[in-house]
Structure 1
Amino acid sequence: MKARWLKKLIRICLVSLPLLTASAWVDAKVDPELRAYLKDAISSSSSFGDRFDAEVWLVDMNARMSRFIPDKEFRIEFLKSVHHAATDQNLPPEMVLALIHVESAFKPYALSHAGAQGYMQVMPFWRNEIGRPDDNLMEMQTNLKYGCAILAHYLKREKGNWIRALARYNGSLGKTWYPERVMNKWQRHWFVRQISFRR
């Protein structure tokens, strides 16, 4: 009796899984530009632009992040990796932190019901789409590179419109609930006021 019930449940899950991720999957399959952008982004990298700014940012974010990642050494490594992956794609690192806050609550091995993996909840099909099937999406730097490249592409595609870019990232284009959640986390936890020191 239990075996039949379990088989039925698995069948239901397999049938409904494509429906849960349909808009993101369709968007990815018909978008060769995103595939090329992601492939290029995974292959290239850069480092912190300005050491002083990076250190100020790390000190500030370290204090904010302490409630989510208790291990200080890992916390600094994580923040450096986020800053690197975000700035490599010309994204504000604070917005990437807000997205991670919503997507995985900073859990490195987060796995969604749809199969999205890691901090930025990247779907595994992206590895095959860009010809890197052996990439480990649970590995921090890999996950951040993929996620930031995808977000940057959508932001460019939407001509800087964060609401639409975030909705695309989530596969909910046309709805605002997801972008609102990310923006709320950004404003409440990760916003950094830019200070000008003009003479």
Structure 2
Amino acid sequence: MPAAVAALASLRIAPARAGAQVEEPLADAVRTALSSAIANSAPPVPHFASTEDRLAYLRWLGAMSPRLSRRQVDWQERKEFLQTVWYESRRAGLDTGLVLGLIQVESGFRKFAVSPVGARGYMQVMPFWSRQIGDGDAGKLFHMQTNLRFGCVILRHYLQRERGDLFMALGRYNGSRGQAPYPKAVLAAGRQWQWDDPGPPKDAEALRGGGS
């Protein structure tokens, strides 16, 4: 077996901490809505309403990249990952720092992580979701954008099920609804990925405003 193939195989069987999301019956309307959310295959390219919004995103990217560099050494891979997390979390109406915290707890940022119960990829999505709202091909859950999209859409679905209660939604995501350890771990990890935008440098503001 070539070394590259062997390395990939070892990644695919790496254990992860995910619990077992419970396969629940979905109403037809919910299934249709979730399938539609997954099926929209627009590439994760951020669009910005203004130059300031774009610069704020670039400042976020510049702040997050060093934090992730020990886990994802390659800059291009890291940039694409962060861009996709930013895009998919916002698309689902989720806090980006929270999603990064969930990924840290679930898979340790390992693309090919597999849990003892079969959950896959960065956000440890259970294969039954491919059958319920996807095209049935669970192998696609190892594709970065597919995995992040499924994970974000599923978490948003659980938030709606729990009427906005993040603690309960996180427990449902992990298959440990009502138990504290998992939500607490994700929320603690998420705080490590929060970022307060300091805004543009003072000299840049002065140049724009013609200040002295």
Interval containing the TM-score (normalised by the shorter chain): 0.7 to 0.9
- Do structure 1's residue 74 and structure 2's residue 77 form an aligned pair? yes
**From 87, 99, 102, the counterpart of 2:102:** 99
Q: TM-score, length-normalised on structure 1?
A: 0.79
CA distance in 2, matches of 1:195, 1:74: 26
**From 168, 175, 189, the counterpart of 1:171:** 175
State the secondary structure of the residue aligned to 2:97.
helix
Instruction: Read off the aligned partner of 2:164 and give its amino acid letter.
Output: G
- Partner residue of 2:127? 124
Q: TM-score, length-normalised on structure 2?
A: 0.75
Deviations 1:135-172 (A, max 9, x none): 60001000000000001111122222211111111111
CA distance in 2, matches of 1:24, 1:118: 17
CA distance in 2, matches of 1:173, 1:114: 17
State the secondary structure of the residue aligned to 1:115.
coil
- Percent of aligned positions with the same letter in both sequences? 41
Cα RMSD between the aligned structures?
2.1
CA apart distance, 1:118: 0.2
* Contact in 1 for aligned 2:56/2:197 (Cα 8 Å): no
- 1 or 2 for the larger relative contact order (CA 8 Å, sep ≥6)? 2
The structure with the largest helix share of the pair is: 1
CA apart distance, 1:173: 0.9
- Partner residue of 1:17? none
- Partner residue of 1:56? 59
Q: How many residues matched?
A: 174
Deviations 1:20-73 (A, max 9, x none): 74x612xx2355555333212112357524322221111111121112111111
Q: Which structure 1 residue ranges, 5 or more long, are not aligned?
A: 1-19
* Contact in 2 for aligned 1:103/1:121 (Cα 8 Å): yes
**Closer, same or farther: CA 165–112 of 1 in aligned 2, 3 Å:** same
